[in-house]
Chains A and B, each alone.
Chain A
Amino acid sequence: MHLPRLNGRVSPLLPVALAPMGLVAVFILVIVWVSVQTGTLGTVHSAYTLENYRDVLGDSEIYDVIWNTLWFACSTVFFALIIGLPIAWLTERTTIPGKPAIYVIMTLGLLIPGIFVAMGWTFIAHPRIGFINRWLVDLLALDDGPVNIATPVGMGFVQGLNLAPLAFILTTQMFRAMNPMLEEAARTAGMSAAATLRRVTVPLAMPAILAAVIYVFIVGIATFDVPAVIGLGNRVYLFSTYLFTITFPEDMEPRYGITGAVGVLMIVVALGLTALYGRVLQRGNRYQVITGKGYRPKLLDLGGWNWAAWAMIGLYAVLSKLIPIALVGFIAFAPYVAPPSLEMWEQLSLNNFHNVNWELVWRGMKHTLILMFVVPLLVLVCAFAISWLVVRTRSRGRYALEFGAFLPHTVPELLFAIGALLVALFVLKDYVPLYGTVWLIALVYVVTRLPFATRALNGALLQIHKELEEAAYVSGLTMLRASRRVLLPLLRPTLMSVWIWTALLVYREVTVAVFLATESNITLTAVVWSYWAAAGMTEASVVTTLMILFFSPLLLLFWIFGRRSALAEQ
């Protein structure tokens, strides 16, 4: 195989591009390696065996878990799309007023940690403490609360609220890029609006919608925060929480082999989905719907229906963000956790805030901030190397690079976290003291954020004519200088927006942080989780409130920058 070359030299970018893929391979291999071992790992007592697989597959529990996970993931997809898709359509193809506000609601929505929403919804619709249920019980004199979110479908609903912005973002582009001439052609050919929608619009949109479905599904099967906050206490286990309970059992001897075996099963599922996703994307390319810019789609005039559309968006904002956050805020000021009532209202005080463990909060914030700085930097460096080699070289190796950068997109980040934990504990040990450092978390984040960054940079690099770079070389600039003086300045808007997005996703991430957190690398979201998971609901709410307060300016900053770079692209 030819290595990707420029001017005949093996590109110095190659090692940088390959490094994250090496990590992916190591993480996956170590999971496989651990899955075939039993006994105390890393000692002479461990032995190779298939026992773990027998145990996992022989235990009826795993089938319940698979069933629950499927239900959960499907309902997540359903709710995310039923909310995200119409809103995407409304903003891109109709004259609905206040589009910037919709973008704010939807993009900022993605950045509010799902764990907060899950916590909030426990207080809303939990079968026993959810205030909806409490009110309904009082109102209708029932024995039990009729609404139960502590089911796979209920949790899927909450996760759907969380991921609706993702579905929105994944499909707005499709609506924006879809050539309206194709629809107009149908209309001039005598098809009715309904027939056009059915026979032209929907089939054309299908690949993008399918891609969104699969993407949300993949995120769904690996989600940890919602199932953990709502499901764990009610004995509803999904893949992620099941993995959590066996990786950190209420036992003094964890069986990582079982974790490994379940992880391997999950990887197999993920690889299958990757293949499917790749095929869907390919088909989408064949349709050539996404042809880029140049179209000014004719917008549908909603007329009197504007208010209804806004009512739907408003309801979404209230349900998914405002109420949960208000409830978390309420708990933060309450002496103990209780549903909102007049009596509780009188007891609200700042007491909990006087008792905040600031040392811990600062520590968590320090780690979160380090990660928000380091991870985007590393992601950009690696993604730049990969994108450059993929876009600018002709070697066949570039396809391998592209696949490698895409893979983490479909392998749940949870598995990388487990892989990293196992590597740090059983491979690196104290030779390379990575365990308990933010760098371990950073490595996993870099791997998981790579596909997004690579895709964005691929697009940007394709827009920059390669002759601009070559002009620099023949002008006597070395590759390094050419990159610094020519390529990077031209890529700056993309680099900025990728940076900000990556940083904010790092800020909200909890799954990886929970699996890898120790006292010396705990992040703010992991602090929230640690309190929540082990009894400190009040403390969790207090830290959450602080976190929202601290990071609101940052979200605002993101919005300003994000809008600016979006404008630059137009």
Chain B
Amino acid sequence: MFSRVLVTLAVLGLALPAFAEEKISPALQKVIEAAKKEGELKIQWTPGRLGGDVGLRKMVAALNKRYGTDLKVRYTPGPSFPRMTAKLLQEQAAGQPASSDIHLGTSNHISQGTAKGMLTLLDWEGLLERPNPKGANINRTAPKGAAVAIASRVVGISYNSRLVKGDDVPKSMEDVFKPKFKGKIASTPYATGLYQFAADDMLGRERMTDYTKRLAAHIGGLMLCNAQERIASGEFLMLVFDCGHDDALRMTRKGAPVKQATIKEISRINVMYLGVPKHAQRPNAAILFANFMNTAEGQKLQWDLGGHDLHIYPEANTRKPVLDIVKGGGLLFIDTVERNNTHDPKALRKIQAEFRKILKKGGK
């Protein structure tokens, strides 16, 4: 029932977007001034996110132009979201400066960062230039102001469109078990999708445990969501499940044979957040970047370079795929930090750990 309500809300939210003018508040002005002094933005996250090295450089260039700052980007390719979260937590515990001024993550990682007191709590609504669109179906700020959403990504199955064609393109999560795919498809080492679908109000733990076990025995290996080149190259025929439509989209734009299929049983909108670690060395530059990502200009850059934006904004390109899913009429949830928190994050992580292990061992 709950999911129905959500879907209704989602439709409402998408149907009635509010639009208002962007305005720099005094609080933000202070951040801009401080960021000017900081002069640099140190970023470490997994390659490809937010348009990769190139995208990030273009985004910061636009930011500099918009605010008159002169931030230099210092980007280092980092590990996956959970590993990066662990790294930042570890650095905080050891009294070291954070490796990244910005913590990029989805609900689970932000939730954990908040619980461990790693993220700076900010009054984002007081800072953000762009007013919160009226009637949005999600809170763009995470609870306590620990992070701010920048993009929503539709989760599905990425596949090699040259090797998987026609009827082979999966429509249901059971379609991946075709014998011809055995040993040729992949899942993620962090079991994304699988564990979130195991929530009580979704497909349930029992069903997903069984599914994960069968999947573990069926796949050929593990890959990260952003490693779509491994699908393009044919190393893996598909990724069950991916982290969002954007990864496949970026490959499609490059001319690589990668596409994404959504499945009928269930859908998930993966919301991506930015938070500022307490041990960040340039917190103001980080806040300014998060703010910029929410402006119309930032949203457009995100779409052009990274293939994603936040569906609550009226011009968002993600609105359509989200609507398509809603029309499809399966189970749907928007994976926000709030939702994560109301679903016993500890239990969720336990399920994830269990699924990770199943996938790693190959279902043995």
Binding site for B on A (CB under 8 A): 40, 42-43, 60-61, 126-129, 134, 144, 150, 232-235, 245, 248-254, 335-339, 347, 355, 357, 359-360, 363, 424-426, 429-430, 433, 435-436, 518-520, 522, 527, 530-531, 533-539
Contacts and interface: CB of A to CB of B under 8 A. Distances in A.
Contacts of B87: 248, 518
B348 to A, nearest CB: 12
Nearest to A428: B94
Given A429-B94, A535-B46, A535-B47, A337 B232 contact: yes
Contact of B77 (A250, A335, A527): A527
B221 A234 contact: yes
Interface string B328-355: 0000000000000000000001001100
Interface string B229-249: 110111110000000000000
B296 to A, nearest CB: 26
B235 A251 contact: no
Interface stretch (B142-150, B199-207, B251-259, B313-321): B251-259
Contacts, number: 187
Interface of B: 42, 44, 46-48, 52-54, 57, 72-80, 82-83, 85-87, 89-91, 93-97, 99-100, 108-109, 112, 183-184, 186, 188-191, 220-230, 232-236, 251, 254-256, 349, 352-353, 356, 360-362, 364
A355 B47 CA distance: 13
A443 B127 CA distance: 45
B195 to A, nearest CB: 11
Contacts of A535: 46-48, 224-229
B184 A360 contact: no
Given A43-B93, A527-B77, A536 B83 contact: no
A245 B79 contact: no
Given A248-B79, A252-B112, A359-B73, A537 B85 contact: no
Nearest to A336: B256
A537 B77 CA distance: 12
28 contacts: A42-B94, A43-B93, A129-B234, A129-B235, A232-B222, A248-B87, A249-B83, A250-B188, A250-B189, A251-B82, A251-B190, A252-B89, A253-B86, A253-B89, A254-B90, A336-B229, A337-B230, A338-B232, A355-B54, A424-B94, A425-B90, A436-B99, A518-B76, A518-B87, A519-B76, A530-B76, A534-B227, A535-B225
Given A233-B230, A250-B356, A337-B229, 19 more contacts: A127-B220, A128-B234, A144-B183, A150-B221, A235-B362, A250-B80, A250-B83, A250-B188, A254-B86, A337-B232, A337-B233, A357-B53, A429-B95, A435-B94, A534-B226, A535-B47, A535-B226, A536-B47, A537-B233
Nearest to A519: B76
A338 B232 CA distance: 7
A534 B75 contact: no
A245 B83 CA distance: 10
Nearest to A150: B221
Contacts of A251: 82-83, 86, 190, 349, 352-353, 356
Contacts of B189: 245, 250
A336 B221 contact: no
- The binding surface of chain A is classed by DSSP as loop
A546 to B, nearest CB: 14
A509 B222 CA distance: 26
Contacts of A430: 94-96
B191 to A, nearest CB: 8
Nearest to A122: B235
Nearest to A130: B235
A25 B257 CA distance: 53
B59 to A, nearest CB: 14
A537 B86 contact: no
B164 to A, nearest CB: 13
A425 B233 CA distance: 39
A433 B255 contact: no
Nearest to A242: B360
Given A128-B234, A336-B256, A436-B96, A360 B75 contact: yes
B102 to A, nearest CB: 12
A424 B47 CA distance: 26
A518 B77 CA distance: 10
Contacts of B79: 248, 530, 533-534
A40 B86 CA distance: 12
B96 A435 contact: yes
A177 B223 CA distance: 50
A235 B360 contact: yes
Q: Which 6 A-B pairs have the closest CB atoms?
A: A430-B95, A535-B227, A519-B76, A536-B47, A250-B190, A535-B226
B171 to A, nearest CB: 24
B255 A347 contact: yes
Contact of B230 (A43, A249, A355, A537): A537
B138 to A, nearest CB: 23
A534 B77 contact: yes
A536 B77 contact: yes
Contacts of A336: 229, 232-233, 251, 254-256
Given A235-B222, A245-B360, A335 B95 contact: no
Given A336-B229, A535-B228, A426 B94 contact: yes
